[in-house]
Chain A
Amino acid sequence: MDKSINIRDKVKKNIENNKKWKIEKVMPNIFFMTALISILTTIGIVFTLVADAYKFFAKVPLSEVFSTKLAPLGANPSFGILPLINGTIIISTIAMAVAVPIGLTAAIYLSEYASEKRRKTLKPMMEVLAGIPTIVYGFFAYSFVTPLLMNIVPGLEAKNALSPGIVMGIMIIPLVASLSEDAMSSVPNAMREGALALGSTKLEVTFKVVIPAAISGIIASFVLGVSRAIGETMIVVIASGSSKNLTFDITQSMQTMTAYIVEFTSGDAGSGTLGYYSLYAVGLILFIFTLLMNLLAQYISRRYREEY
């Protein structure tokens, strides 16, 4: 009996040990506050962009914003953003033209054709490609791919849209390949075996069974790729130059929205000038573009997912 009383006392003492119980109550609140940092960051991004973009849109009429004349540093500055949107769309299109076919076929190979052993060596090597900093790709595009393309494409300028587009596409291949591969790998084997038992070849199984079943994940990977391409900065800053003309000629220099932000902040845009506020206006448009793409990707993969 003595012993049990002893333990009861000890338990009581422990509970009354204020310090420990305080910690127990305080910790959840501390963790909750750190979790709020992410929400605060999002609010911070939206608020800084909207507040300064508002000052821009209050001073610049919309007809000027959606014009084709971009000359922020001229004596009579004009802020038409269409050249930037045009540059962004063209370079992203080139990138996706490289990333979609190669990324998808690589995903098919890894998921359907490769042996387990080969898959385990090839997939991590693909991921190395995703880990290389974009500044390195920028250097590669400017000092290697552009001179190489000059031999093939006549009239290609030192800064052009083609070379960063291609290199950006190569950068996005691992993203498309790994997400599409995940989608295809999660198609149950029973479906493949059913088609194979009916006499299909692997190629027919892939295109008639696996891809239709995994299509939501595959499309989502494309959309995420587009979002990456739109937000990509250093490759275009280095290899695509800063021409502000509206052109559809991919051998010419073009500027994207991201490149405009980088060029202008490293320039002499003082705080409070119209040029300074234009950064945030472009930033806001860029943010909305990529956010919509990301939400679209989430929606597609959730809405059209086939459950097996």
Chain B
Amino acid sequence: MKIINDSNNTEGIYDRKALQKRIRNRVFYDKLANIVFLLSTLFALLVLTILITRIWRQGIGWLSIDFLKGNLSIFPEKAGIYGIIIGSVRLMSVVGPVTILLGVSTAIYLEEYAGKGKIQSFISTTISNLAGVPSVIFGLLGLTVFARLLNLGSSILAGGLTMSLLVLPIVVVASREAIRAVPSFLRDASYAMGASKWTTIRTVILPVALPGILTGSILALSRAIGETAPLVVLGVPTLILAVPTSIMDDFSALPIQIYYWTLDTVLTPEYANLAAATIIVLLVILFLMNSIAIIIRNKFQKRY
């Protein structure tokens, strides 16, 4: 701001025109920034819209009852993904119980029994570092420990256990938050009635924390159902024609099939459409899971 004695300006010692111009500029840049920042927020959403419409338009024509009920085939017109869907469902039937059981009891230990000592902070740090390990590394762990050492091969059980370890931190963090949010007067009331610690956890804390735990578990499962890399590293086979009947069977899952079909588009261009149709199925499943999580959160979460 220049201070000058301007003969045209009798009101003060400031150059009023320069001042007004400066203020106008500053307000202009502020407004411009508002628009630019909004656009960059919308850019991310625009990409999301393009992605979904593009895949929808490519795949919806190939999506039919026959596609959902049929078995894999090398002919694109005859291919169906029934066995793949069953594979994913069975994989989740391993991941779900294992992750929830391990995750919730880890959270109970950390919140209720561990106290604020070194053990607690060591386990917490380990879990938060585990959450940052790339999924492909979990694939190597599964390959060595579950597939080779325990001789489970590329079965549903091996894939499920590998996936459980991968999503475990999500369930632990969500359950810890849910347990921590249980108000202390409920706990005190339970103790005052003479209940023991385990009884309090079982009958007071867990029921109140259940919506939060379930929400976290569903989010973990929706991460697991779309995860590809660990299963590929585990050696899940390309073409499985038999529908898996037990958890020791070889299997394929939705993301794996999308992966192989995308790779094979070089040879058979129609595979891209099949991949798109499978992606639609996967995204619809994810959408349903997330909707359930939101409904649970909104409907059953009590505020104290």
Contact = CB atoms under 8 A, between A and B. Distances in A.
B54 interface: yes
Tell me which of A42, A113, A138, A233 has the highest count of chain B C-beta atoms within 10 A of its own C-beta: A233
B29 A265 contact: no
A28 B136 CA distance: 33
B243 to A, nearest CB: 22
B110 A136 contact: no
B168 A35 contact: no
Interface in B263-280: 263, 265, 272, 275-276, 279
A41 B195 CA distance: 35
A144 interface: yes
A44 B141 contact: yes
Interface stretch (A64-72, A125-133, A213-221): A125-133
A201 B106 CA distance: 49
B283 A132 contact: yes
Interface string B27-41: 101100110111011
Interface stretch (A55-63, A89-97, A100-108, A243-251): A100-108
Contact of A261 (B139, B197, B222, B258): B139
Given A48-B141, A109-B41, A234 B130 contact: no
A185 interface: no
B140 A279 contact: yes
A31 B145 contact: no
A231 B136 contact: yes
Contact of B102 (A37, A233, A271): A37
B47 interface: yes
A217 B275 CA distance: 39
Contact of A258 (B26, B33, B229): B229
Given A38-B168, A139-B279, A262 B233 contact: yes
A227 interface: yes
Interface of A, helix, strand, loop or mixed by DSSP: helix
Nearest to B143: A265
A49 B47 CA distance: 37
Interface string B101-116: 1100110111011100
Interface stretch (A77-85, A149-157, A187-195, A280-288): A280-288
B277 to A, nearest CB: 11
B64 interface: no
B54 A144 contact: yes
Contacts of B134: 230-233, 258, 286-287, 290
A39 interface: yes
Interface stretch (B5-13, B77-85, B121-129, B209-217): B121-129
B181 to A, nearest CB: 18
Contact of B132 (A129, A234, A266, A290): A290
A174 interface: yes
Nearest to A224: B132
Interface in A108-131: 108-110, 113-114, 122, 125-126, 128-129, 131
A294 to B, nearest CB: 4
Given A42-B126, A233-B136, A136 B279 contact: yes
Given A34-B102, A265-B233, A102 B44 contact: yes
A177 B41 CA distance: 9
Tell me which of A27, A101, A102 has the highest count of chain B C-beta atoms within 10 A of its own C-beta: A27
Contact of A233 (B48, B135, B197): B135
B130 A42 contact: yes
A48 to B, nearest CB: 4
A37 B161 CA distance: 12
B258 to A, nearest CB: 5
Contacts of A179: none
Contacts of A142: 262, 265
Contacts of B229: 134, 233-234, 237, 258, 262
A24 B197 contact: yes
Contact of B283 (A45, A134, A136): A136
Nearest to B129: A294
Contact of B130 (A41, A101, A227, A232): A41
A114 B37 CA distance: 10
Interface of B: 26-27, 29-30, 33-34, 36-38, 40-41, 43-45, 47-48, 50-51, 54-55, 58, 101-102, 105-106, 108-110, 112-114, 122-123, 126-130, 132-141, 143-145, 148, 165, 168-169, 172, 196-198, 222, 225-229, 232-235, 255, 258-259, 262-263, 265, 272, 275-276, 279, 282-283, 286, 290
20 contacts: A20-B196, A27-B198, A35-B106, A38-B123, A45-B138, A45-B140, A48-B145, A102-B40, A114-B38, A132-B48, A133-B286, A135-B258, A139-B262, A177-B41, A204-B26, A231-B132, A231-B136, A238-B263, A290-B134, A298-B128
Interface of A: 20, 23-24, 27-28, 30-32, 34-39, 41-42, 44-45, 48-49, 52, 101-102, 105-106, 108-110, 113-114, 122, 125-126, 128-129, 131-140, 142-144, 170, 173-174, 177, 201-204, 206, 224, 227, 230-234, 237-238, 258, 261-262, 265-266, 271, 279-280, 283, 286-287, 290-291, 293-295, 298
Given A135-B255, A265-B235, 6 more contacts: A24-B197, A35-B110, A109-B38, A233-B135, A265-B234, A294-B129
List the 6 closest A-B pairs by CB distance, nearest first.
Answer: A133-B226, A231-B134, A109-B37, A31-B109, A201-B30, A294-B132
